[in-house]
Chains A and B, each alone.
Chain A
């Protein structure tokens, strides 16, 4: 079946522009995660959804970052007034997520590479 998909795969933005990154999780997956991966680093957690509820946004680096998942499926990560330090690969992952205590495997999408000029 289809895996996690993300779009666009590449995005170039001028400093100060707003961007929106989309994630389509695996159908039926309750949990959805966003991670940020800077060049040469491991992914870092940004935020987590269980269905449409955003239960953890402790990793969002500033109030310019906003995520939503209004119908419990597709999610969008929005970055307002982009800065050069926002340049990174943004990864989305989904899991069956059968509850808060779940340790279900996370399935990752290919990522969106954001470059802010």
Chain B
């Protein structure tokens, strides 16, 4: 079945460091890909998405590019802030399945001063 694999956390970075969180997927066909973020004490929020190969999703300084050849959707940010500390989830869905999401296990990011 469809699945999403994320790098294990926690990831601990100093403020202004470069962030990469790896995400790869296994799926039959070409899904839409998402990054969701969960800040402490809050619900899941959509961070960015890409719906076809080579699309780049971006939001709040975060970017991810849909790479069909490597089945990857790695999340990057050039300079993290303490306020980016959260759990990040990579997910996929297919059109025609009412967009039910298949999530990875999540990666906790801790940014320190």
Contact = CB atoms under 8 A, between A and B. Distances in A.
Contacts of B43: 3-4, 91, 108-111
Interface of B is mostly: loop
Nearest to B94: A103
Interface stretch (B13-21, B44-52, B74-82): B44-52
A79 to B, nearest CB: 20
B42 A42 contact: no
Contacts of A48: 98, 100
Interface string B2-46: 001000000000000000000000000000100010000011111
Interface string A39-58: 01111110010100001100
B89 to A, nearest CB: 5
Nearest to A31: B98
Interface in A77-117: 91, 93, 95, 97, 100-106, 108-111
B51 to A, nearest CB: 7
Interface residues of B, number: 25
Contact of A42 (B51, B96, B103): B103
Contact of A55 (B42, B49, B91, B98): B98
B89 A103 contact: no
B105 A42 contact: yes
Nearest to A3: B43
Interface of A: 3-4, 31, 33, 35, 40-45, 48, 50, 55-56, 59, 91, 93, 95, 97, 100-106, 108-111
The 7 closest A-B pairs by CB, nearest first: A42-B103, A108-B44, A108-B43, A45-B100, A110-B43, A42-B105, A101-B95
Given A40-B105, A103-B93, 7 more contacts: A31-B99, A35-B101, A42-B104, A43-B101, A102-B99, A104-B99, A105-B49
17 contacts: A3-B43, A31-B98, A33-B100, A35-B101, A40-B105, A41-B106, A42-B89, A43-B103, A50-B98, A56-B100, A91-B43, A95-B99, A97-B98, A97-B99, A103-B32, A106-B99, A110-B43
